[in-house]
Amino acid sequence: MIKIHWHPYSTYSRRVMIALLEKHIPHELVTVDMAARKHREPEYLSVNPYGRVPTLEEDGFLLYESNAILTYLEATHPEPALVPADARGRAVVDMHMRLCDLQMARQAGIIIFPKRFLPKERWDEKAMAQAKGEIERHLAILDSQLDGREYLVADRYSLAEVSYTPFVQFLPVMEIAPPPAVAAWVARMLDRPSARQTAPAQ
Amino acid sequence: MIKIHWHPYSTYSRRVMIALLEKHIPHELVTVDMAARKHREPEYLSVNPYGRVPTLEEDGFLLYESNAILTYLEATHPEPALVPADARGRAVVDMHMRLCDLQMARQAGIIIFPKRFLPKERWDEKAMAQAKGEIERHLAILDSQLDGREYLVADRYSLAEVSYTPFVQFLPVMEIAPPPAVAAWVARMLDRPSARQTAPAQ
């Protein structure tokens, strides 16, 4: 049985939850009590030395980095497929997953975490404004790529969308108004049953 | 014929060069004249909207993000293999490649670029010190994982090492003294013919 160490507020954990639902994969959830800083204690650091969630555990096999977990689930549970069948299509999904981490997820964390969990006097507003600008420039690129399409790759829902869903959920919190093709894509993703079932509490 | 848009000073491009050599893949190089800011002009932005190198081009197919290119080359040119045969081994290689980007490559760029190309009065020394601390904490984790092993995954040279090679090359420039198991691993990687042939000019 696949065990997922996670936290319900974790955007990265939500990626894995969505993939597990989309693929109907039986699993067991282990909540890491991050409020009590259990993720910084030796027991969890022996599972994930970075002290982050999610981590997949399966018969003693440990894997972290949410996009690596998604790729592993795809390799081990190929149906229903969340990547195209051909090498080029798979490569483009992989590229978009990496770009989601590098150009959006990290920057979103800089904005979302303080806005959700810290009093305003502790916000680093300069860093937050810079992160917002980076996301806006990235969304402008996605907008031109999405123009006339429903999804990023081969016009079908893929792991690229699984990666993006938890982060685009917070565009309103980040006060980012997405350009039109991105806005339609976001609405499409958030309307999926796997997204609705994993939506964070407001 | 695979065409690689690259620049000889680009650490990310060097990853792809190493994989091409390791796999004996015929290719054509197109140098993007970054000094003349050609990477910011519409012609190159139509190849890679982020204006970065490397980009792979093959019969009109375009792929960027160096680790996505490495994964694509592995899928399309599986011999000699630079990943293990099993899904778990492949997943751990994938995880390390992502961690290289998230915990080392970005931070290395913050330090290396100014040190190589900018006068000292333009250095952001606070950001550089923070990046150095992040790399040092990451190398401490790698050190415990490498203890008693020659390579990160399944004790064989893999795409994880291909990803790391261009960045660990600059540890001396970054004034980072690696812990012992990392130091031995770095020496092993940099001694490979593919690393020697692609070593940057001093």
pLDDT in tens, B74-106: 999 999 999 999 999 999 999 999 999 999 999
Beta bridge partners of B18: none
pLDDT of residue A201: 78
Domain of A124, CATH number, reads 1.20.1050.10
* B184 and B117 in a common domain: yes
Q: In this predicted model, what pLDDT tens digit does every residue of A8-37 receive, in sequence order?
A: 999 999 999 999 999 999 999 999 999 999
Q: In A, which residues are within 8 Å of B98 by CB distance?
A: 65, 67-68, 98, 101
* B50 and B114 in a common domain: no
Q: How far is B99 from chain A (nearest CA, A)?
A: 8
**Contact call for residues A163 and A102 (beta carbons, < 8 A):** no
Q: How far is A99 from chain B (nearest CA, A)?
A: 8
Q: In this predicted model, what pLDDT tens digit does every residue of B7-20 receive, in sequence order?
A: 999 999 999 999 99
Query: Where are the alpha helices (H) located in chain B, listed in sequence order?
Result: 11-22, 42-45, 66-76, 87-99, 106-117, 125-146, 159-168, 180-190, 193-197
Across A142-146, average pLDDT? 97
* B125 and B62 in a common domain: no
CA–CA dist A178, A138 (Å, integer): 10
Q: In B, which residues are within 8 Å of A65 by CB distance?
A: 94-95, 98-99, 102
* A157 and A105 in a common domain: yes
Strands B2-6 and A61-64: unpaired
Q: Which residue has the tokens 């100014």?
A: B114
Tally the domains of chain A: 2
* A152 and A131 in a common domain: yes
Question: Does B92 contact A63 at a Cβ distance shorter than 8 Å?
Answer: yes
* B70 and B13 in a common domain: yes
Residue type at position B106? R
Using pLDDT thresholds of 50, 70 and 90, give the confidence band for residue A202: low
Q: Which two tokens stand for residue A191?
A: 């309307």
Q: Which two tokens stand for residue B97?
A: 């490649």
Q: Is A81 inside a domain boundary?
A: no
Whether the predicted interface score ipTM is above 0.90: yes
pLDDT of residue B201: 78
Q: How is the beta sheet containing B27-31 ordered, strand by strand?
A: B27-31, B2-6, B55-58, B61-64
Q: Is B72 inside a domain boundary?
A: yes
Q: How far is B102 from chain A (nearest CA, A)?
A: 8
Q: Which two tokens stand for residue B5?
A: 């848009």
Question: What is residue A120's DSSP assignment?
Answer: G
CA–CA dist B150, B155 (Å, integer): 6
Question: Does B61 contact A88 at a Cβ distance shorter than 8 Å?
Answer: yes
CA–CA dist A136, B200 (Å, integer): 34
Q: Which residues of A51-78 are buried (b: 16+ CB within 10 A; e: fewer)?
A: ebbbbbbeeeebbbbbbbbbbbbbeebe
Would an 8 Å CB–CB cutoff place B87 in contact with chain A? yes
> Chains A, B: CB contacts under 8 A, how many?
77
Q: Is the peptide bond before B54 cis (omega within 30 degrees of 0)?
A: yes
Of B42, B57, B76, which residue constitutes the final position of a domain?
B76
CA–CA dist A100, A139 (Å, integer): 10
Would an 8 Å CB–CB cutoff place B95 in contact with chain A? yes
CA–CA dist B33, A33 (Å, integer): 51
pTM (predicted TM-score): 0.97
Query: How many CB atoms within 10 Å of residue B102?
Result: 20
Which residue range is the domain that position B115 belongs to?
87-198
